[in-house]
Structure 1
């Protein structure tokens, strides 16, 4: 008898990007500190009172930059968030009404908020299959959505799981070489099974001359099976942007994306994604419609089962009415709350770390877990890796005589990252968002407790997206909304803060 045991692989070595600057001030704060000190010293040569007059306001202005929350936000960012919320609330922007009886032009049910200026076109790939393209006119971005049915991890050898993870990492590293790619997102949506598909498959096949006991058993299976099962959908959205200063016709963009689709789909299949296809414009509209109004999920599935399609258009995929609150987002037949990632798990994790979070949660109408990726080009990746390695070595050598366990771990992680990047691995920034939808606002408290328990088992630290629930809800939809592309302050300036 063999007593050899197979060690289950672990994964990790992700690092938070190093913020340049002095302490928690950031680059802008550090430049302001040294610039202010130089100016103060020059003024002190003339008058000490004038120097104090400059130094005190400067210190008061820089102090909010040094005070930060656990997720790295300073006081100015917190104040800007609250000021923006009160401005939207005073203008009535937190309430949205559409349809023939609203004041919206056209009387259609267009999606609100960040999706209000999105236009959906449709193209054909090399196999003459339709795929939808979402054009974000405000940012001149184009999004395609891929749907897949991943293989489960149950009864799968650890070697096979490790192969899937390696293939997924290769697919992500390939995104860094995709021309014009701004970001990608992976959305896993779970919901209780409505039973529509099972009924459409089983009930028409029951023969009239079958025994009554057999027919009763099949009808009972159709009736009771959905109460203990759930449905799961996985979507991958890829958002592309045109080079700066270059204007392209949307027809040319669709042709370019049609050429890239076969390679992207093949990479997903090899990474354990199962059958992968590009979603048509109608299918994208159906996903958005069900997200805003979960009560129509059964009707959508029934229409597809009976007629093959729903005929739903993007201009009718939005909700009838929505109300954004501080910690919730009310939309048609559901109430949602969204959480954002604050801190990824420390150390290493196993491949099943997110299994509980991805599975359907009892007491919720729908749940979406969105992984957001921002690929970094190879040249920038090399600079970031070398900067992190130098910073880790400096911190380790400047703390002699103290406990250096964490510093030594940081050095080893930085060195390993540098070696992997030099051998061809890609570098991406990632984040995670979770949206939970329930039937009524009174159920959000129980859903929040359930989410906190799931986050604890996944070793994740997240916070609610308070005062921006509507925008966060849109980010977890498979429509290509990238948070860093829809901010008033440029991403480079925010990183310098």
Structure 2
């Protein structure tokens, strides 16, 4: 007889992109250091006092670049965030009202903030299924939303989970070859089950002449079952931009997206996504409506079950009133707080590392976990992995004496990444955002404790999105809002800082 040890697959090897430049200065700070030294040396040929007057402002400019938070932000970025908050608050942009009694034209409940300039069209794919297309007019971006019902990892063999993870990685790698794709988002939304679907399925089928005991049992099941259950929805958004130099109307873009949907859905099914289908414009409006007003979730489910649809339009999916504060976002019947990822799990992890984070949180009205992906084209991926490989080797060999363990680990990780990229793997930048919605501001303290416990179990580090709660709330909705597309400073310049 022989026994074989069970090997559980592990995953990892993600790395934060190394910032170019000298130490904590970044590329801009490095140019400032050398430029200031050269200028001071030239001025010192004339007068040492004049050189001192030149050197002092340079030092004052460079010191804030060396002071950074855990997620890499320097003092200039923190100051810009506070100044932007003060300006928005002075202009009254932190308060939003809509509806017939507001000053908004049209008298409808249009979504606020980053969704203010979004319009929705609808098309049909190759299987004649309706799908909604969100047009972000400010950035000329088009978003489609796919809904799926993942199979889950309970009672599933580790080998099957490993196959799903490999298929998901292949699907993400394919995104870098999608023409015009700017980013993708996976949103997992959980909420307590209101019991509406169960009541509609059971109560309407009870016969009038049923025994009283059987009727009482079924009514008790309908009443008590939702207290211990939750509903979970998974949405995947894909945001495209028309090819540069080509002027295409909306109908042409919608036709192009309709051709791509079947191939995208087949990849999701192979990655354990279960039954997947595109979301219609009405379903997208319903998701946004419930997110801004969680109290109507049961009504939306009930109307959809009885009439087959709600008839809700995008222009009526927003809140009647919303107020943004430093650490929270209040909207209709809910108060939300959003957290941003600052540190991914270090080392190797198993496939269930995020399971506790994705499950329903007790004491909350709704919870959304958004995984944001920014695919990188193959040419840029090759340059990045080679640059990281050279930087890791330089850091490992430039130290005195024995090479440190962390430097050696970075070298191995960089070599593995370069080898995988050369064999055809894709390179994707990713992040995570978490939004928790409760009934009142007094419950936010308990929600914060719950989030701290969940992030500890998931081995990640999160920070509240203070002074940008409204924008962060929109980023966790399945509407295709990509944070890097809505910044004043370009992404490349931010990396240089």
- Classify the TM-score, shorter chain: over 0.9
The alignment partner of 2:327 has SS state of coil
Residue of structure 1 equivalent to 2:221 = 221
Output the TM-score relative to the length of structure 1. 0.99
CA distances 1:179-214 after superposition (whole Å, capped 9, x unpaired): 000000000000000101111111111112222111
2 CA distance for matches of 1:461 and 1:204?
47
Deviation at 1:2, TM superposition (A): 5.6
Alignment of 1:8-407 (within 5 A): 8-402=8-402, 404-407=404-407
Residue of structure 1 equivalent to 2:485 = 485
CA distances 1:304-361 after superposition (whole Å, capped 9, x unpaired): 0000000000000000000000000000000000000001010000000000000001
The alignment partner of 1:106 has SS state of coil
1 CA distance for matches of 2:201 and 2:393?
62
1 CA distance for matches of 2:342 and 2:320?
33
Deviation at 1:244, TM superposition (A): 3.2
2 CA distance for matches of 1:269 and 1:113?
34
Residue of structure 2 equivalent to 1:4 = 4
Is the CA contact 2:341–2:431 (under 8 Å) kept in the aligned structure 1?
yes
1 CA distance for matches of 2:332 and 2:411?
51
The alignment partner of 1:363 has SS state of coil
1 CA distance for matches of 2:2 and 2:362?
42
Residue 445 (structure 1) aligned with residue 445 (structure 2): yes
Deviation at 1:46, TM superposition (A): 1.5
Alignment of 1:400-439 (within 5 A): 400-402=400-402, 404-439=404-439
Deviation at 1:402, TM superposition (A): 4.6
Deviation at 1:49, TM superposition (A): 1.6
2 CA distance for matches of 1:56 and 1:163?
59
Moved more, 234-243 or 32-41: 32-41
2 CA distance for matches of 1:381 and 1:334?
42
Figure out how many residues of one structure are paired with residues of the other and give that number. Answer: 497
2 CA distance for matches of 1:105 and 1:244?
33
Moved more, 95-104 or 391-400: 391-400
The alignment partner of 1:243 has SS state of coil
Moved more, 442-451 or 239-248: 239-248
Residue of structure 2 equivalent to 1:470 = 470
Output the TM-score relative to the length of structure 2. 0.99
The alignment partner of 2:216 has SS state of helix
Deviation at 1:47, TM superposition (A): 1.7
The alignment partner of 1:357 has SS state of helix
1 CA distance for matches of 2:52 and 2:422?
51
Moved more, 46-55 or 479-488: 46-55
1 CA distance for matches of 2:172 and 2:292?
30
2 CA distance for matches of 1:252 and 1:472?
31
Deviation at 1:248, TM superposition (A): 1.6
2 CA distance for matches of 1:333 and 1:359?
23
The alignment partner of 1:109 has SS state of coil
Deviation at 1:7, TM superposition (A): 1.0
1 CA distance for matches of 2:256 and 2:245?
18
Moved more, 122-131 or 28-37: 28-37
Moved more, 58-67 or 378-387: 58-67
Is the CA contact 2:364–2:447 (under 8 Å) kept in the aligned structure 1?
yes
Deviation at 1:403, TM superposition (A): 5.7
2 CA distance for matches of 1:143 and 1:487?
19
2 CA distance for matches of 1:58 and 1:245?
42
Moved more, 242-251 or 263-272: 242-251
User: Unmatched 5+ residue regions in structure 2?
Assistant: none
The alignment partner of 1:457 has SS state of helix
2 CA distance for matches of 1:127 and 1:325?
45
The alignment partner of 1:311 has SS state of coil
The alignment partner of 1:213 has SS state of helix
Deviation at 1:119, TM superposition (A): 0.5
Deviation at 1:50, TM superposition (A): 1.5
Is the CA contact 2:396–2:403 (under 8 Å) kept in the aligned structure 1?
no
2 CA distance for matches of 1:176 and 1:106?
41
The alignment partner of 1:105 has SS state of coil
User: Unmatched 5+ residue regions in structure 1?
Assistant: none
